[in-house]
Amino acid sequence: MALEGEKKETHVLMVAFSAQGHINPMLRLGKRLVSKGLQVALATNEVAQSNSFTRTVTGVHLEFFSDGLSLDYNREANLDYDMESIGKFGPIDLSALIQRHCKKFSCIINNPFVSWVSDVAAKHEIPCAMLWIQPCTLYAIYYRFYNCLNSFPTSENPQMNVELPGLPSLCTEDLPSFILPSSSVSSFPKMLYELFQDMKKLKWGLGNSFQELETDVIETMDEIHPIWPVGPLVPSSLLGKEDATDEGIDLFKSEDTCIEWLNHQKPSSVIYISFGSLLMESPKEKESIATALTRSGHPFLWVVKPSDSKSEESEGTMPLKNGMGDQGLIVKWSPQTQVLAHPSLACFLSNCGWNSLSESITAGVPIIAYPQRTDQPTNA
Binding site for ligand UDP (CB under 6 A): 20-21, 24, 254, 274, 276-279, 303, 333-334, 336-337, 353-356, 359
Alpha carbons 152 and 145: distance in angstroms, whole number: 7
Q: How far is the CB of 331 from ligand UDP (least distance, A)?
A: 7
Q: How far is the CB of 245 from ligand UDP (least distance, A)?
A: 16
Looking at the Cβ atoms of 110 and 337, the one nearer to ligand UDP is 337
Q: How far is the CB of 105 from ligand UDP (least distance, A)?
A: 27
Q: How far is the CB of 117 from ligand UDP (least distance, A)?
A: 19
Looking at the Cβ atoms of 42 and 162, the one nearer to ligand UDP is 42
Q: How far is the CB of 104 from ligand UDP (least distance, A)?
A: 33
Neighbour-count burial for 178-188, b at 16+ CB within 10 Å, e otherwise: bbbeeeeeebb
State residue 325 phi and psi, 5-degree precision. Answer: -50, -40
Looking at the Cβ atoms of 146 and 354, the one nearer to ligand UDP is 354
Looking at the Cβ atoms of 105 and 132, the one nearer to ligand UDP is 132
Looking at the Cβ atoms of 93 and 214, the one nearer to ligand UDP is 214
CB 125 within 8 A of CB 96: no
Under DSSP, is residue 363 helix (H, G, I), strand (E, B) or coil?
helix
Residue with smallest beta-carbon separation from ligand UDP: 353
DSSP character string of 34-97: HHTT-EEEEEEETHHHHT------TTEEEEEE--SS-TTS-GGGGHHHHHHHHHHHHHHHHHHH
Looking at the Cβ atoms of 84 and 255, the one nearer to ligand UDP is 255
Between β-strands 60-65 and 39-45, what pairing exists: parallel, antiparallel or unpaired?
Answer: parallel
Q: How far is the CB of 374 from ligand UDP (least distance, A)?
A: 8
Tell me the one-letter amino acid at 266. Answer: K
CB 160 within 8 A of CB 153: yes
Q: How far is the CB of 332 from ligand UDP (least distance, A)?
A: 8
Looking at the Cβ atoms of 108 and 341, the one nearer to ligand UDP is 341
DSSP character string of 196-253: HH-GGG-SEEEESS-GGGSHHHHHHHTTTS--EE------GGGGT-S--------SSP
